[in-house]
């Protein structure tokens, strides 16, 4: 199995939607239980491509099996910050795909002048937390009742990465 990591294109919108939906339906890692409608996802992808935002996908053949994005905030005083989102389809986890996606996304974020990346992760997602820590993300807080899946509440950990002097 040869996985390719690449910047997302508009042609990836539909397979990205399927990947997002697969991870969301696990109701474990994301704040949503299903992907938004395809037209909203396609619009999100189109805007990210047009603005050259850091958004990468992992491709197996024609299938998107993972993604990572660092989307800058829209407000002027917050444009130096981005929110991180990522996921990998369950059958592809444990193969280093998330690490490759995160590395590509962070490298591009730095070249785009992003100074800080924020994320929130479910407190019991130890694998993701360990990955973020390896890349230098620091624990910055905890939120009680941070996420609710299937009627059960979970704590969320807030993490942040501040880049040293970027171009």
Burial class (CB in 10 A: 0-12, 13-18, 19+), 69: buried
Q: Model confidence over 52-92: pLDDT tens digits?
A: 999 999 999 999 999 999 999 999 999 999 999 999 999 99
Which pair of structure tokens corresponds to residue 33?
A: 């239980």
The reply to whether 107 falls in a domain is yes
What pLDDT, in 10s, does the model give residues 19-65?
Answer: 999 999 999 999 999 999 999 999 999 999 999 999 999 999 999 99
C-alpha dist (Å) from residue 50 to 10, 82, 90: 9, 17, 30
Per-residue pLDDT, averaged over 99-105, amounts to: 98
Q: Quick one: which H or E segment has residue 102?
A: helix 97-111
Q: Would the pLDDT of 166 be above 70?
A: no
Residue 167 lies in a domain: no
Is 14 part of any domain? yes
Give the model's pLDDT for residue 1: 63
Q: How many domains does the chain have?
A: 1
Question: pLDDT-based confidence at 164, cuts 50/70/90?
Answer: confident
Q: How confident is the model at residue 160 (pLDDT cuts 50, 70, 90)?
A: very high
Residue 166 · residue 130 · CB < 8 Å: no
Is residue 105 domain-resident? Answer: yes
The CATH number given to whatever domain includes residue 106 is: 3.40.630.30
Q: What residue numbers bound the domain in which 45 lies?
A: 4-162
């Amino acid at each position: 199995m040869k996985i390719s990591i690449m910047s997302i294109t508009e042609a990836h919108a539909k397979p990205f939607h399927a990947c997002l939906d697969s991870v969301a339906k696990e109701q474990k890692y994301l704040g949503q239980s299903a992907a938004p409608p395809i037209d909203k996802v396609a619009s999100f992808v189109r805007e990210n491509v047009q603005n050259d935002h850091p958004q990468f996908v992992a491709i197996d053949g024609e299938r998107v099996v993972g993604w990572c994005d660092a989307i800058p905030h829209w407000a002027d005083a917050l444009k130096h910050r981005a929110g991180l989102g990522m996921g990998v389809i369950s059958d592809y986890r444990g193969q280093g795909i998330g690490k490759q996606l995160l590395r590509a996304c962070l490298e591009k974020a730095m070249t785009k002048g992003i100074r800080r990346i924020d994320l929130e992760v479910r407190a019991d997602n130890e694998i993701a937390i360990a990955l973020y820590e390896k890349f230098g993300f620091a624990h910055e807080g905890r939120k009680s009742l941070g996420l609710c899946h299937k009627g059960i509440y979970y704590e969320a950990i807030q993490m942040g990465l501040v880049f040293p002097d970027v171009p």
